A and B are shown apart, each in its own frame.
Chain A
Amino acid sequence: GAVVSQHPSRVICKSGTSVKIECRSLDFQATTMFWYRQFPKQSLMLMATSNEGSKATYEQGVEKDKFLINHASLTLSTLTVTSAHPEDSSFYICSASLGTAYNEQFFGPGTRLTVL
């Protein structure tokens, strides 16, 4: 099956620093990638949809300048949490899709971000 990786799996940083999370589709080309945030014991909250070569589409309430998304190639999307604060601590999960409505999304293993 299709494999999506995320790096790093876990990161701890100081308040005010920026953190970059990578999402890669390893064995397929993903025209669309999604970034989610998951709080403990809660569902996934979609943050943004990114398409290769174009600007990401952010969900309502998600700060574009805070969560920078770049989808530079068909196999790589990055999420940068800028000037991170403790309230940004969360589990971030990416997914990748072949870009048709009937194709399932393939999820990465997630990144646990802790901001001190």
Chain B
Amino acid sequence: AQSVAQPEDQVNVAEGNPLTVKCTYSVSGNPYLFWYVQYPNRGLQFLLKYITGDNLVKGSYGFEAEFNKSQTSFHLKKPSALVSDSALYFCAVRAQSGTYKYIFGTGTRLKVLA
């Protein structure tokens, strides 16, 4: 069965420090992987995706993510966190074949402390 895990409910990081939000997945076949951010009472905003090619993907707002096939991970990273990055982050996976549905992780709340 396909699944996505975000092992941390919350991540705290000091402003200016690098941040990492973890995501691991389990799918049959090659995965399409996505990261979204959600601010309070808002929909989700797309950050970045991995489809194929370079394992390091760069996205919006200075975020990047590294696809690691052997570890089945797709961790979200940013070199220097901003207080405005504080939000809820979701990892999602879509199997390459079949449905276009997403499977979402449970979300990780990022708190960047000034």
Tell me the number of A-to-B contacts counted with CB atoms below 8 Å.
57
Q: Mark B7-47, 1 if CB is under 8 A from A, else 0.
A: 00000000000000000000000001010100001111110
Q: Which residues of A (25-72) have their CB < 8 Å from a CB of B?
A: 32, 34, 42-44, 46, 49
Query: How many residues on B have C-beta within 8 angstroms of the other chain's C-beta atoms?
Result: 24
Interface residues on A, range: 20 to 34
| Contact of A105 with B102 at beta-carbon distance under 8 Å, contacts A43-B90, A43-B107 already known | yes
Query: Given the complex, which residues of B lie within 8 Å of A105, measured CB to CB?
Result: 34, 46, 102
B99 at the interface (CB under 8 A from A): yes
Query: Given the complex, which residues of A lie within 8 Å of B107, measured CB to CB?
Result: 42-43
A–B complex contacts, Cβ < 8 Å, 6 sampled: A34-B101, A44-B44, A93-B44, A95-B43, A100-B100, A101-B100
